[in-house]
Amino acid sequence: TPSPESIRGELRLRKDLRRRLDKAEEYENKKEFALALKEIKKVREEAPDYGGATLLKKVVQLKLLLKKQKKAEEMIERASSIILRGEKDEAALREAAELLEQVKDRYKDVVKDYQKRVPPLLNAVWKELAKGKQFLAELARARRMVAQGNLTEARKAIESARDIGGSNPKVRELEETVKELQRLETEANNAFKHKDWETALRKTSQFLEKAPRCERIANLQKKCQQMLNERRQLNERLTKLLTQAAEKVKRAPQDVLSDVKRARDLVYKLEKSHGLAMEDVKRRLQQLEFAALEEHARRKVAAAVALLDTLFMKRDKEAILAMVSPDRPKLRSLLKQQLDSFLTSGLRVIKSQHIIKEIKLSKDLKRADVETDYVFEFEHPEAKRKIEGVRHRRFAFVERSGKWLIYDLP
């Protein structure tokens, strides 16, 4: 029979073991599995036979829970580190979300203070993912606006993206792109305003490389190309007219003026619509115009001299006198006396030709001094004797109402 003292000792031991088991249960309920396991192990150490298979099963159970808890804590720690370092990468955030979702679905029962720890982390990561999605959406919108050349809306989208994602490299890159596009558009418009089609075309091409769907700049580029084509065509036509006019000065001076007029119309358009300096061309046109007028005047003067010979051969006194300038009555009277004397002399005109040696025209092309060699041959019908020779003669002609008339016979 056990002694009372041994019985009291046994009772104290059982009480102590019961207290440890209660403590272990308390730890387990608090998900302090390591502490619970420690208490159970102490019970088994102090009383190997106490609890038997039940305690052994509890040890195995606690070890499994502890292992599961360790796995959950590793997953929570990994997810927390991603969130706490402010990770913005979608793949990393999704990894954190997946880890926390696994904890929620499979490890919720082993996580200490689960409600205080996991749901806030899960909410934070989903919030970041939503922000990331919105950030990417704003970046995509900014890129669409850039491609369309809508710089105002692009700036708004970039600002929204910055508010969400901070000073992200992609945000800074888009900001630089918008600044570059604004600069190119300003330079293109300025060049177009100053009719610098080549520069404007180059700037619009650079703009459209970054914003290929911008109708505004595409239309400006089209206008630049049209103006360049027009300028090229105008220059080609002008060159052709200048060459044509130069060739006609000696061949057909009367046609040069129409070419010069058309060329001046082209020059005006090149100056007004294309902003080109055309002073050299205008001087060239003046030279061609004067050369044509001068050549035309020479031909008219030469024709007047030839007409004088023809009328003299025809003995047409009145027509010859009509070739004297009306403001030279004395010259007309003198010439009439000479013609009357010649016509009454009975001399027959066999040859009368003024070979022009030189024609000097005044600057205003209204007067011409003519140097000629007069070749003549006359015959007296009764004496049957010829009078022939060459004399140097000078004339002064003036232009009156489109006709060249004799002004002086020095």
Please state which of the ranges 54-68, 272-286, 294-308, 315-329 shows the lowest mean pLDDT. 54-68
Question: Does residue 40 contact residue 59 with C-beta atoms inside 8 Å?
Answer: yes
The mean pLDDT value for 377-405 works out to 91
pLDDT of residue 11: 53
Residue 152, pLDDT > 90, answer yes
The mean pLDDT value for 19-47 works out to 83
Strand order in the sheet with 403-408: 348-361, 367-380, 385-400, 403-408
Q: Could you tell me the pLDDT band of residue 157, with boundaries at 50, 70 and 90?
A: very high
pLDDT of residue 39: 84
Query: pLDDT (tens digit, 9 = 90+) per residue, 320-364?
Result: 999 999 999 999 999 999 999 998 888 889 999 999 999 999 999
Of residues 386, 366, 382, the one with CA closest to residue 301? 366
Residue 49, pLDDT > 70, answer no
Q: What is the dihedral of CA 169, 171, 177, 181, to 10 degrees?
A: -160
End-to-end CA distance of the chain: 184
How far apart CA 100 and CA 105 sit, in angstroms, is 9
Residue 131, pLDDT > 70, answer yes
Greatest alpha-carbon span in the chain? 207
How far apart CA 72 and CA 66 sit, in angstroms, is 10
The mean pLDDT value for 185-206 works out to 97
Residue 112, pLDDT > 90, answer no
Give the other-Cβ count within 10 Å of 73's Cβ. 17
Give the other-Cβ count within 10 Å of 75's Cβ. 21
Range of 108-112, 213-217, 386-390 with top mean pLDDT: 213-217
CA angle 220, 226, 231 (to 5 degrees): 125
Instruction: Tell me phi and psi for residue 386, to 5 degrees.
Output: -95, 140
How far apart CA 398 and CA 361 sit, in angstroms, is 10
Q: Could you tell me the pLDDT band of residue 132, with boundaries at 50, 70 and 90?
A: confident
Residue 369, pLDDT > 60, answer yes
How far apart CA 76 and CA 63 sit, in angstroms, is 20
Q: Could you tell me the pLDDT band of residue 315, with boundaries at 50, 70 and 90?
A: very high
Query: pLDDT (tens digit, 9 = 90+) per residue, 169-179?
Result: 899 999 999 99
Alpha carbon distances (Å) from 169 to 153, 161, 162, 260, 361: 20, 11, 10, 63, 81
SS (HEC) of the chain:
CCCHHHHHHHHHHHHHHHHHHHHHHHHHHCCCHHHHHHHHHHHHHHCCCCCHHHHHHHHHHHHHHHHHHHHHHHHHHHHHHHHHCCCCCHHHHHHHHHHHHHHHHHHHHHCCCHHHHHHHHHHHHHHHHHHHHHHHHHHHHHHHHHHHCCHHHHHHHHHHHHHHHCCCHHHHHHHHHHHHHHHHHHHHHHHHHCCCHHHHHHHHHHHHHHCCCCHHHHHHHHHHHHHHHHHHHHHHHHHHHHHHHHHHHHHCHHHHHHHHHHHHHHHHHHHHHHCCCCHHHHHHHHHHHHHHHHHHHHHHHHHHHHHHHHHHHCCCHHHHHCCECCCCHHHHHHHHHHHHHHHHCCCEEEEEEEEEEEEEECCCCCEEEEEEEEEEEEEECCCCEEEEEEEEEEEEEEEECCEEEEEECC
Tell me the residue length of the chain.
410
Residue 289, pLDDT > 90, answer yes
Residue 73, pLDDT > 80, answer yes
Helix 52-84 × helix 33-46 angle, to 10°: 160
Give the residue, 16 or 22, on which the prediction is more confident. Answer: 22
pLDDT of residue 14: 66
pLDDT of residue 225: 97
Query: pLDDT (tens digit, 9 = 90+) per residue, 212-270?
Result: 999 999 999 999 999 999 999 999 999 999 999 999 999 999 999 999 999 999 999 99
Q: Could you tell me the pLDDT band of residue 6, with boundaries at 50, 70 and 90?
A: low
Mean pLDDT of the chain: 90
Residue 45, pLDDT > 80, answer no
Q: Which long-range contacts (CB under 8 A, 24 or more apart) does 282-287 make?
A: 284/242, 285/242, 285/245, 285/260
Give the residue, 13 or 127, on which the prediction is more confident. Answer: 127
Query: pLDDT (tens digit, 9 = 90+) per residue, 185-194?
Result: 999 999 999 9
Range of 20-34, 35-49, 326-340 with top mean pLDDT: 326-340
